[in-house]
Structure 1
Amino acid sequence: MTTHLTPSSLTLQIILGDQLLAPVYQPIVNLAEHTIYGHESLIRGPKGTPYHMPDMLFAMALAEDRLNELEFAAANAGIAEYRRAGGRAKLFVNLSATFLVEHYSRHGEGQLQALFDRADMPLGDLVIELTEHDRVHHVDALPRMVEVLRAQGAQIALDDFGDGRSSLRLWSELRPDIVKIDRYFSHGIDKHAAKVQTFKAMLHLAETFGTRLVAEGIETREELEIIRDLGIGYAQGYLLGRPQSEATSVIGGDAQEVLASTDIVVYPALRKVAQTHFSAEKLVISAPGINPKMRNDELIRIFHDRPELHALAVILPEGKPLGLINRRDFIDRYTHPYHKELFGKRPCTAFMDPNPIVVDRHQTLEQLTEILVSGDQRYLNSGFVIPEGGRYLGLGTGEQLVKAVTEVRIEAARHANSLTFLPGNIPTSEHIARLLAARIEFTACHCDLNHFKSYNDQYGYWRGDEMIRLTAGVISANCDVRRDFVGHVGGDDFVVLFQSSDWDRRCEQIVSTFNERALGMFDETALKAGGIVAEDRNGHSSFFPLTTLTIGAVRIVPDAFSRAEDVASAAALAKRHAKQGGGGLWLLDDGRTTPLPVSAPSQVMAAVGP
């Protein structure tokens, strides 16, 4: 063996010839069974040199044009050492698509078969992990190579899916047994709702293709909690086990605690209202465009023959919109005495709005909303012209616009409330369903403000919004962000799903803190009077006490409910009983509602001063 090596004297030939490669093994964990499913064989170069880590080692091989040779040697070393040390779980061996295709084209199946023969392990325990250092250029040849490997008994895994090199086309054409999701999507997933949604989409793909998923790069308890609860089958990362010279049979301690826990983690909430791909194209009404030279007596016949048309666009020969003629305005003016005789043979442009509202086909929901709130309200009567690239497509109506924007906003609010950014009805129901499916005990609470309408009417919607945000802040501050779910289901209604065992103490703190801080949102006159005078629902002047918070709670035990809607209804019933009982915190149990003690806020006069 060569001695006294220095980094400058090292070459790949020396490293391979002197057998200076050393494999290490990182565990891949079966999250459902809490067991080691297999190990990934990783390679290391000579210790104490820049080529110890694989990035520099493979860079050297690339510079010397010996990548295939290094890959084959690394696979040999990894398999041989794994069996020598008694490894019995599945072994993931990295081979690039380039290596497999080129090696097969030069040597056929023989040399690969020799590699497997030397492995002295059941080929059903070997997983060929397809990697690629550059974008795959052999998509057409790969399926045949994969068939050969499968015929020999090996399984196929696609590595680093989503990193820009592994493509959906590869997944679809190769139908790998396993897909390893790039660590980018796992990193910080407990803080990024978009990454949660990405994993959900990949789960759908995996189900379609019959593929198992491995989440790579799991480094924190929070990341593992999300991955586990999403239903990802397998995971790999430092939290579960670091690469070691020998295969381990033990999962990392922190990871074991997470896998043993029955808690259902709270997914990160969207921090803004869910966006939509809605565009003005969906509002297009097919309507003929008319030539600027068309006479008014021809135009009136079109309106008579097409009663459904609210307007007609005047279009230049090249397709550019010139103006808009409102049906009602035209007919009203044209039917005035003598107007038919005066204007019948004149061009229609005499009755045209030369500056109509123009909405390009690709304008977004936000841009359409700006039209609704602008001072130009012509869209209500005349509608608007919809072109694409300057060429006329059709018309839109004000009724369509108002309806579409309203519906999309309502649907978006069901996912995330635009005022508090808390999850709306849909994610709240989804979380209840997850809790029910896990068959664990939890407490469902419905929170509501007392006398909020009178406050909102008295001080205005802006101050009302401040009180709603205060409510959201107080509730969220007193919940465990990883275990307790907070949803804003509309207006001044909030739902909290507690897994925390001290839920009652937290609720007491929520009620007392809100009641205390809400005092600061009233003026001195209201504080001295202990309330405000405002109109009731019948329009009569009435006295309303200061706004306080009510919470109705229901303990949910396994199998007591099967549907999320029933849990929400039970919590809403508890809230109604609580409001009827005078507010505060109430627990609904076996059909009986019991008040729980809550610390009273400071006296109103203390807040006002002497």
Structure 2
Amino acid sequence: MRDELPIWLHNFDSEQFLRDVNHHLVVALQPIVEANTGVVVAHEALMRGFDDLGFPDPGALLDGAAARKRLFEVDCCVIAKAIAARARFPKAEGGALFLNLDGRNLQHWRALRTFLELRCEQLGLSAQDLCIELSEAHQPLAPEAFEEAVRGLRAAGLQIAIDDFGTGVSGMQMLYQAAPDFIKIDKFFIKSMPSDAKKRLLVGSIVDLAHTLGSRVIAEGVETVEQLICCREANCDLIQGYLIARPATDPSELATGYAERVHAGAAAAESGESLMIEKFIEEVPTLQENTPLAVLFDQLTVNPGRNVYPVLDRDGLPRGAVRESDVKPLLHSPFGRDLARNRSIGMTIGDFVRPIPTLESSTPIAQRLELIADHAEDGVVVTKALRYLGYMSSGSLLKLANEVRLQQAAAQNPLTRLPGNNAIAGFLERCRQHDSLPRLVAYIDIDHFKAFNDRYGFEMGDRAILILASILKSLERDHAAFVGHIGGDDFFLGAEGAACDALDKIMQTIGARFRHVAESLYSPEDRAAGFIEARARDGTQTRFPLLSCTVAALRLEPGYRPQTTLALTTRLTALKSLARQQKASLQMEACV
């Protein structure tokens, strides 16, 4: 380690090192905003000035401080500067302050908690305004000691976040032990999401898991509109990155909201699912973290059938729930109520809060319902733009799941289970409005399908339709395409952003892939002949080639906005007719 330090530090006094750190280091704040609205929820404090001390990055400076046995003091120095910067915001602005803590300092959690409480008291802040970011790097504590440290910090009102989630080998263990309020997905996953289907799948899975455990998800390093759209489609709650704002050392340079930045990715309008959720929300009293425990005892007495109470922070953000089962031993002990009312002991709701699954009303809920079904015996907290909207018991959740399934069945094609015309119309309208991105829409149908269906019967006809549906579903899975079933042998394919470039090339292969598989549906004789004989629509006996498909596609370049969705579908229909006339399997046109 000594050889890795700047030369000036090799024989330098530790006290002088701390004085220089205090003199040169500054803190920059970067906003963390709601993914759909751009409202600022928090700021992360980032270290700046380390290069003036001869270090290439913050990690190297912290390693240097550790080598000189001054790591805790350096962390506290940065944290103190960050809290002072946060205190400069007006009281109603700024949100939470995210503070990075070197894992080697977690063993000093008691001293850290005392330090934070004193600094907050001096500057008129609360511990609830702070969130401690933990990562796998330099995490020396045993599992039991780690859990004790997290419990100790949380008991002071501090929020907990796991940083750089997904890049280490023990992230799942930390997720289980810390039960964090926030999970920050590392930019390694975010950077290439638009072009990497596997990363989109992984991010979506992480988000679903986090929501099931009651944590909110922050996507780090969002720099492009395409990345923003992918994060929103994966249901990330919060966004952080250069697309929103660069870190600023002067808090006055930061805005209170960034709606214009997130709206560049055109957030989806409120869905019918959101309104459906609100029908099943129940009237349940909520409690604050700092509410005396005696208030809960009174509620349990007044409402003997109610055993779960949502808990919110002072800004109305959910922090979890308190269960009757967790306080039952104290409630029914001889002196339990007296202890709960004893102000000198100071027992509060926050001492008994545990995570509870959350259901964000503005995101698609079908898959979420499946994931939380096995973890929702205590119900779920429903949020809207991260704010508490209400509570739903397990019974109401079951009713909601049944209604969602009924709606899905009505909206999907019963054969292929693909979205139907309403979803296709919604996608076309979104394409019409999102004119800042490249977009692609395509009409696909099977050639000579009626003759094949008449000759081989509807069961074989259904198999042909399912073959094409399967090919198109693979594009949805691997390239973030939207696939819909118009009806019969007609399909719709669409994409936005970076996915358009991949589909440009892949669409040329759809016809060949379909022909190759569809040949297996014919008898050996018809396959060898290369055609079948059947009656045409005018009743004459005609030779029909083996099944193939025609693709008519429009690429809408950035800046192009059609007047109506009807204009798009009319143009696609004309392109399909042109392809048929020219006997082309693919007819593509660009709109600029």
Q: Normalization by structure 2: what TM-score?
A: 0.49
Greater relative CO (CA pairs within 8 A, separation 6+): 2
What's the TM-score, normalizing by structure 1?
Answer: 0.48
